[in-house]
Amino acid sequence: MPDNNALIVGISGVSCTGKTTLARLLRDIFPNTFILHEDDFYKTDAEIPINHEAGDLADWDCLEAINLSTFEETLRFIKKNGLPPPDLVSKEDKNSVGPVDVDQDVIDELEWKAGRWMFRDVPPIAIIDGFLLYSEEMKAIRDLIDVKLFLRTGYATAKTRRERRSGYVTLEGFWEDPPGYVDKVVWPNYVKDHGFLFKDGNVEGELQHDVVDNSDIKPMPDGAQEDMTAMLRWASAIVNDALEQKK
Which residues are marked as active site? 39
**Whether 142 contacts 38, CB under 8 Å:** no
CA angle, 225 then 156 then 189, to 5°: 90
CA gap 189, 191 in Å, rounded: 5
Exposed (0-12), middle (13-18) or buried (19+): which is 229, by Cβ within 10 Å? middle
DSSP output for 53-97: GGTSEE-TTSGGGB-HHHHHHHHHHHHHHSS--TT---SGGGS--
The three-point CA angle 229-232-234 to 5° equals 110
Neighbouring-strand partners of residue 128: 10, 36
